[in-house]
Structure 1
Amino acid sequence: MDDPRLQAIGTGTAPPVTEADLHAYADRQLAPGRLAQVEQFLAAHPEQAARVRDWQQQNALLRDLLAPVHEEPVPPGLAMRPVRAAWPWRGLAASLLIATVSAGAAWSLRGMVEAGAAPATASGPALTGFAQRAAIAHAVYSPDKRRPVEVGADQEQALVTWLTRRMGAEVRAPALAPLGYALIGGRLLPGEKAPVAQFMYGAADGRRLTLYVTREVGQADAAFRFGQDGAVNVFYWVENHFGYAISADADRAELMKVSQEVYRQLKPG
């Protein structure tokens, strides 16, 4: 059986231009030998060129946002730590946001932008570990109306193949349409030491729900657990060395129903 590979976007005698090539081009990390091929491809595919321009504009905004942090001196306690390979700008920005911004603050910002109040929810236990990171990632990305995901549901197989390859284990997007949630797409996020996956779903009323999948889990049982960070409610569990977290502003009963269905579809065997 052939190794799973990212679905190609282009064709021809030269190696096909892939989604990864487009991201590398937008992040200015494309190998020089591929630059001319990708530019030729973009010239012939205006829709893909528009996507890349959107990413580049996002990169520029993130650079402006992070410039004050970049110019600060390195704290003495961190100066001698070994340097790791750099993430692309979007991954770097996401890691900084997820490390430093609380989900409650992110939802407050959403409310300020949309001039609406977050729905009242019952208080839940405080989140920690991957469940808290899942809540923050949900709060950061789910309000984005224009580009909430990196790869859309129209390229679901390419998305699953890409995430599986990057995470080093099979990753799947559960089918939640019977529960009223259609797949929007997904993205790769930086975890503490390894990549994590986020799938996003949308309901007909505009609500969004995310599934966070990580291999960065400690010793834990498979029991469902519930917690809350700001306006984000989360059901999470550990199964077969994977951590799963369902995040949304839906109530506890709704999240429990979705979590049980995701567990049913993703459990081994």
Structure 2
Amino acid sequence: MNDAIDPVVEADLDAYVDDQLDAGRRIEIARYLSHHPEQAARVMSDLQARDELRLALTGMHSKGSPETSEAARRLERGLMRNRLLGNLQRVAAVAVLVGIGWLAHAGFGPLTISEVVASTPPPAYVADAVMAHKTSLVRAGMKSQSEVNSYDPAEIRAATAITMPQLLDRWIVNDVQLFPSAFGPSVEMEIRSDEMKRLSLFAVRPGSFDVVKPKALRIDDSTAAYFQIGDVAYALVSDASPADLEIVASQLAKTLY
């Protein structure tokens, strides 16, 4: 009689492709795929695309498809897809979040991007990350809003299909919240560090697959450094300089490979 295993969901298959499972769970997923050929074929295709993309990005010779190599070169140069309906998605996300603390939006006023970076508009989720950061500051000053500092990246992955980067040394998690967005749940994490005092890490699935190297910019009185790996995008927000925050974002991005 075969031992029963936990139900296999889409997040498990994504974690299998991303090498995020322990050996025992990978064996269970492999057993599941051996009985589900259609799912197995899709997973094998994802594994091939992942490996080809990694090889192309590192400049190694690969026998992968020319399309993958060309896509990697475009991504490495930092070209990003135009995000249609970006403003509508941002407005929809704010409307949903009004009931859980996003009323602070009215007090912050519209977000403005400095002229230095105006020629390269950031993705829509960056504005959401800055707003989430400001909201977390408001929450921190409210006695009625209790902080949740128990951080379990595996649980977040299982619930949202969002893989969180490995936190840097001496970082202390003050609060972790899940917020709805136009593409599903997003993660807002408030962090304390000796170097940057207080900063936020925002993660969301923006609805597209891309590879974007860390970039930093000023939005109002905050700095945001954003990057994307695969189908998950990340943004760090703090009062640090763009150069310093971009270095930290690069360190976080390396933990995801």
Q: TM-score of the superposition, structure 1-length normalised?
A: 0.49
Sort the Cα spacing of 1:143 and 1:102 in 2 relative to 1 into closer, same or farther, 3 A.
closer
Deviation, structure 1 residue 142: 2.8
SS in 1 for 2:255: helix
Residue of structure 1 in register with 2:183 after alignment? 193
1:152 matched to 2:148: yes
State the Cα deviation string for residues 56-95 of structure 1 (Å, max 9, x = none): xxxxxxxxxxxxxxxxxxxxxxxxxxxxxxx9xx944348
Residue of structure 1 in register with 2:159 after alignment? 166
Write the distance in 2 (CA, Å) between the matches of 1:250 and 1:220: 26
1:202 matched to 2:192: yes
* Equivalent residues, number: 164
Deviation, structure 1 residue 137: 0.8
Write the distance in 2 (CA, Å) between the matches of 1:172 and 1:130: 16
Q: 1:93 aligns with which of 92, 95, 99?
A: 99
Which runs of no fewer than 5 residues in structure 2 stay unpaired? 9-92
Sort the Cα spacing of 1:207 and 1:102 in 2 relative to 1 into closer, same or farther, 3 A.
farther
Q: 1:176 aligns with which of 161, 168, 172?
A: 168
Residue of structure 1 in register with 2:247 after alignment? 257
| Contact 2:102 2:135 (8 Å CA) reproduced | no
Deviation, structure 1 residue 201: 0.7
State the Cα deviation string for residues 90-145 of structure 1 (Å, max 9, x = none): 944348548x5486669xxxxxxxxxxxxxx9964454411111111111113543
Q: TM-score of the superposition, structure 2-length normalised?
A: 0.51
1:240 matched to 2:245: no
| Contact 1:103 1:230 (8 Å CA) reproduced | no
State the Cα deviation string for residues 206-229 of structure 1 (Å, max 9, x = none): 831111111124354422222222
Write the distance in 2 (CA, Å) between the matches of 1:161 and 1:209: 22
- Identity of counterpart residues, as a percentage? 15
| Contact 2:196 2:240 (8 Å CA) reproduced | no
Which runs of no fewer than 5 residues in structure 1 stay unpaired? 5-86, 107-120
User: Which amino acid counterpart does residue 238 of structure 2 have in structure 1?
Assistant: A
Structure 1 segment 74-93 matched on structure 2, within 5 A: 91-93=97-99
Write the distance in 2 (CA, Å) between the matches of 1:97 and 1:227: 25
Write the distance in 2 (CA, Å) between the matches of 1:103 and 1:261: 30
Please provide the CA RMSD for this pair.
3.9
